[in-house]
Amino acid sequence: MKPVHIGCSGWNYADWRDRLYPKGLPTGRWLERYAEVFETVEINSSFYRLVRPSAAENWVRQTPADFIFAAKASRYLTHIRRLRELDQGIKRFYEGIQPLVDSGKLGPVVWQFPANFHRDDERLESALGKLPPGKHCFEFRHESWFVSEVYELLRRHGAALIIGDHPERPFQSYEFTTDWTFVRFHYGRRGRNGNYSKTELEEWADRLRKWRRRVEVFAYFNNDWRGYAVENGKALERLLGLR
């Protein structure tokens, strides 16, 4: 059986006070507390601004030796440049997260595309050839990308197709393109206001049990409002007998 890693997309949310973070706990210790509950986190802030190496060094110090950080690639690369002229942008992105690389705590790098970015095999293949060593995964949000030719491109470069769970994207496929997969839980279908219902989580637990026979799984809850991500993540951990 392959490992399953479950966490949340980010950890610095004010409405997690009194849900995950005890009253009076300073924000500088929130990651430390988060790491007592989950073994991995997706860094959302790296999507909006470059990470300062000093911040990444603090993250390394505040987490256990086996903790895993998934890092979202800068939106400048995915939404503005749209994978064009990546060399300098990738260099600057990795300069900020280098402490995570050096510590061995960097897991997958998440490349999230905008919904109006249509399929472009040539541009994707060029970008794949420029990526540094490590785990890379791609979240496509336009249905034109979900075809066998794109899956084969990812396979050739050892990159994963992100499984983005959201009711607005019914065209999302469950395709494995390498020996690991990445799930982003955006919005529950049957729970209230995006919360995942008990039956949804049970269905996902059954699915992940089957998948882990073939692939390592990284899974993150992105429904951060009202503490749903925390509760859904902990519930899925319990269903899978983790932690």
The mean pLDDT value of the chain amounts to 97
Q: What is the predicted pLDDT for the residue at 158? A: 98
CATH of the domain at 79: 3.20.20.410
pTM of the model: 0.96
**Where are the alpha helices (H) located in 8-75, listed in sequence order?**
30-34, 45-48, 53-61, 75
The domain tally of the chain equals 1
What are the pLDDT digits (tens) for 87-122?
A: 999 999 999 999 999 999 999 999 999 999 999 999
pLDDT of residue 85: 87
Tens digits of residue pLDDT in 28-47:
999 999 999 999 999 999 99
Structural domain harbouring 228? 4-240
**pLDDT, tens digit, for every residue of 120-145?**
999 999 999 999 999 999 999 999 99
| pLDDT at residue 203 is higher than 90 | yes
The Cα–Cα gap between 216 and 201 comes to 19
pLDDT, tens digit, 9 for 90 and up, residues 49-58:
999 999 999 9
Contacts of 14 (CB under 8 A, 6+ apart): none
3-state secondary structure of 110: strand
User: Is 80 exceeded by the pLDDT of residue 239?
Assistant: yes
Pairing of strands 4-9, 106-112: unpaired
Band of residue 202 on the pLDDT scale cut at 50, 70, 90: very high
Structural tokens at position 112: 């999230």
